[in-house]
Each structure stands twice: as C-alpha cells, then as structure tokens.
Amino acid sequence: MNLETIKLDLVAPPFAGHLFPLLELGAFLKEQGVQHLRVLSTEGAKEATELVGLEHVTLLSSKDKEIEAIANPPYRVKNNPRKLMQQLEANLALTKIMKGEFEELWRKGKPDVVLADFTLPIAGLLARSLGIHWWTSLPTPCALETKRGTPSYLGGWSDTALLAPSRNTLGRTVVRGFKNFVAWYYKRQLSELGVSSLYRKNGDEIVYSPQKIFALGMKEFELERDWPEALEFIGSLTASPPYPHTSPTFESNKPHVLISLGTHLPWAKDKAADFIQQLAKQLPELEFHFSFGRAGRRTVKKIENVSFYDYIPYHLYLNDYKAAIIHGGTGVTYSCVKAGVPMLVWPHDYDQFDHAVRIAHHELGLRLSEDVNTCAKQLKQLLIDSKIQTSCKHFKAKATDYSPGERVLEHLTLALKANKSG
C-alpha cells in the first residue's frame, strides 16, 4: 500500500503528556512514508511540533493562557466536584470555538484519518459525522470507565483493599452519576456541540472512538479491568522533542537520583525543592538532580549534593540514574518503567494517584512518605530491595514487546485499504 497518499491529522492539546507522544508517533510515521500529516493544536505546541519536523496547524489562536489556566490551575483539583465543573465550563466555551475551526479546516480538505487525544473528543465526534476514520489516543488508560474493576479518578483506589469489589462498584456508580449530572447541567452547551449523551447505547463513553482506542501504555501495568473491544495497548511513547538543554553531570563514584514533577504543578515544585534539599542532607552519599520541567531553558544551580536543572529529557538520561522521585505523571512513569528505574512516587493531582497505586502494586517502587526521615529510609530501600529491582527488570523487558509506531502503521494501512475499496 502507498502510504504517501493517506492524509492523517493528529489532534492534541499543547501539554507534554498529551502532545509529545503524538509528536513522536508522527515523526515515526513520516519516516515510514506518511507524507500528508498535520498536527492540529494551539500556538503553544508549535515549537515542539516544528522541532520534530512536522507541520503545525494553529487552533484557538491567542487562547493558550486560558487553556493553561484550565488545565494547570494554581491549586490541587483532584476529584473536587466544584473545581472539576469550573474546568469543564471553561473548556466547553473553548470547545465550541474549536469545533467551528475543525469544520472550516475540513471543508477545505478532509483527512482520511483523525487521531485525537482523548481530551479533545470534539475532533473525533465531528470527524465521525463527516465519514472520517476517528481513532483515540489515550496516554492514561486508567481514565477510561469500565464495567468492572477500580473506578477512575477517585484518588487512586486499589483492587486489593478490604471489600474492594463492593467499594469499586459504588465508586464506578458515583463517577457515572456525576458525569450524567454534568451532562444534564450543561445540556444546552453540549447540545450546541452535537452531544445529547455522554454514553452510547452499549454503555461506552462517547468521548472515545468506537473504531480504535490506542492505549499508550502496557496492559501488564494496569489493574485488572474489562476494557472496551476497541481498546488496544500499543506501548508507551516517551521521547521529548529536541529542546535545547544542559546535559546533567554525573559523578562516577556516586549513585544519582532524578526528581521530576513533570511540566505542570508549579505550585508544588517549590515545596518539593525544599523537601529534596532536606532529604539530600540525610543522604550525602547520593547525588540528586531536580528537573523543573521548563522545556527550552538551560539554567543549572547546585546546592551541596542537589543540582537544579530547568529541563532534563528523561529518555536521554534515565539509564544513568539508580532511582527516581516522581509525581506519577504518565510520561515520567513510563520512562522509568522502560529504563528499569525504581520509583518513589509522590502524587499531587489528576491520574497521578492511580499511577501511584499501580507502581506500588507491581513493586516498581514505593509511595513516598513526606516525613523526611522515613523518605530517606525508603530511598535506601529502593536502591537495594531485590523484589523491586527484579520487578523493574521484568517490566523493562516486557516494554520491549510493544511497538507503538508499527501498530499504528498497520492500522493506517488497513484504513487505506478500506478507503480504496470504498
């Protein structure tokens, strides 16, 4: 099949955990011969998109500050209903504008396939109504509702707790009830978007493609759940665009620990930096590298055995670290898994609590204690615990079983065949 003829639109918000996987995928597909490929996002994604050599189409011009305020407020959201609804209300207004932009863009020329991040379902819903293949990119499989297993976004529930089945059933009911209430409360706004219900007749969420959901992770990492038929685990995509950065310095005679709270959570990073300095004083035999996640900046500051970097691209350097202290974001979590690096996980918001449960469940690390003395003991344990080390090696090996780019390429080939036969 001639992939040069297929037209593919990748749709993502400008946030690293959602955008970067699609950029890595897009760069791979372009190398394989997919020439008509565009990235549809806001101005905030343009630099990263062009760094990997892809075409960028700007959506929601001059709205990046508003989008940042919605997704990255200066406080913890977690599962607070009031804060969640505030986010949704602001998001719905932008979604209405975005829908009009998609309509205008695709009137000029329809793509054959739209692969949209799960946070931007309006792209997929519109594509489907226009007869375009729509696939969902899902970097956080734990966010998806299922009929069995742990509920999503309730603070990281495990399935091994006392009375877990009953509790999980209640939790899933509460989550669905809240979503149905939201749908009723914003009925007018959703109707303007062409959405009459958040669920299909079979109970599946409409925000996910019924054709294909690419779960950007490992099934082995998840807890046991009944996944939708359309969902396929294809493996994680963890590379960052080639932003300029200062390479971290490694001392040959000391183990090094990476600390990262990702690219969000500015309100948490100063607190974390203070905590790490206290921790480092108790562990002078270790070197700590703290990444603020400020892509494109190159500042470095060293205080005793803690080095503060603006930006450390995980995929380039994680093999040089003996452990990592992380917030549990998808990108850094899977980067650690693929490098076989044990984790102390310090969740702050959103899906991070769910990932923390999975890290502990699979013995890939420990949930961080905010007591400095206890945390020091945890970190020492992390470096020598044979069960954790074995589990990390096992998952590192399992990660090589996945080939995300190859799987999407196969599905593109099938879509091309379907388009030609149709």
186-223 pLDDT, tens per residue?
999 999 999 999 999 988 999 999 999 999 999 999 99
| 120 token code pair | 């931007």
Is 3-236+402-421 a domain of CATH 3.40.50.300? no
Residue 340 CA to residue 395 CA, distance in Å, equals: 7
Quote the pLDDT of residue 270. Answer: 85
Quote the pLDDT of residue 417. Answer: 78
The larger pLDDT score, comparing residue 126 to residue 267, is at 126
Print the SS3 string covering the chain.
CCHHHCEEEEECCCCHHHHHHHHHHHHHHHHCCCCEEEEEEEHHHHHHHHHCCCEEEEECCCCHHHHHHHHCCCCCCCCCHHHHHHHHHHHHHHHHHHHHHHHHHHHHCCCCEEEEECCCHHHHHHHHHCCCEEEEEECCHHHCCCCCCCCCCCCCCCCCCCCHHHHHHHHHHHHHHHHHHHHHHCHHHHHHCCCCCCECCCCCECCCCCCEEEECCCHHHCCCCCCCCCEEECCCCCCCCCCCCCCCCCCCCCCEEEEECCCCCHHHHHHHHHHHHHHHHHCCCCEEEEECCCCCCCCEEEECCEEEECCCCHHHHHHHCCEEEECCCHHHHHHHHHHCCCEEECCCCCCHHHHHHHHHHCCCEEECCCCHHHHHHHHHHHHHCHHHHHHHHHHHHHHCCCCHHHHHHHHHHHHHHHHHHC
Residue 155 CA to residue 157 CA, distance in Å, equals: 6
Residue 130 CA to residue 126 CA, distance in Å, equals: 6
Residue 381 CA to residue 168 CA, distance in Å, equals: 32
Query: What CATH number labels 256-399?
Result: 3.40.50.2000
* Burial (Cβ within 10 Å: 0-12, 13-18, ≥19) of residue 95: buried
Least confident of 78-82, 211-215, 237-241: 78-82
Conformational region of residue 32, where left means phi above 0, alpha means psi within -120 to 50, and beta covers everything else = alpha
Which one-letter DSSP state was computed for residue 64? H
Which one-letter DSSP state was computed for residue 149? S
Half-sphere exposure of 255 (CA within 13 A, CB side): 16
The band of 75, judged by pLDDT with boundaries at 50, 70 and 90, is: low
Checking if the pLDDT of 80 tops 90, the result is: no
The band of 77, judged by pLDDT with boundaries at 50, 70 and 90, is: low
Checking if the pLDDT of 277 tops 70, the result is: yes
Checking if the pLDDT of 87 tops 90, the result is: no
The band of 422, judged by pLDDT with boundaries at 50, 70 and 90, is: low
Of residues 215, 201, 71, 61, the one with CA closest to residue 141? 215
Helix axes 81-108, 121-129, angle to 10 degrees: 40
Checking if the pLDDT of 250 tops 80, the result is: yes
- Spatial CB neighbours of 170, under 8 Å, sequence gap ≥ 6: none
Quote the pLDDT of residue 316. Answer: 94
Which one-letter DSSP state was computed for residue 248? P
C-beta separation of 275 from 370 below 8 A: yes
Mean pLDDT to the nearest integer, 300-312: 94
Checking if the pLDDT of 119 tops 90, the result is: yes
Residue 332 CA to residue 345 CA, distance in Å, equals: 10
Helix axes 16-31, 404-421, angle to 10 degrees: 70
Mean pLDDT to the nearest integer, 312-330: 95
Mean pLDDT to the nearest integer, 271-284: 95
C-beta separation of 243 from 303 below 8 A: no
The larger pLDDT score, comparing residue 162 to residue 286, is at 286
Q: Are strands 113-117 and 133-138 parallel, antiparallel or unpaired?
A: parallel
Quote the pLDDT of residue 299. Answer: 86
pTM higher than 0.85: yes
Where are the domain boundaries for CATH 3.40.50.2000 in the chain? 3-236+402-421, 256-399
Residue 381 dihedral angles phi and psi, to the nearest 5°: -60, -40
Q: What is the tens place of the pLDDT at every residue in 46-60?
A: 999 999 999 999 999
| 399 token code pair | 């990660």
Residue 156 CA to residue 328 CA, distance in Å, equals: 11
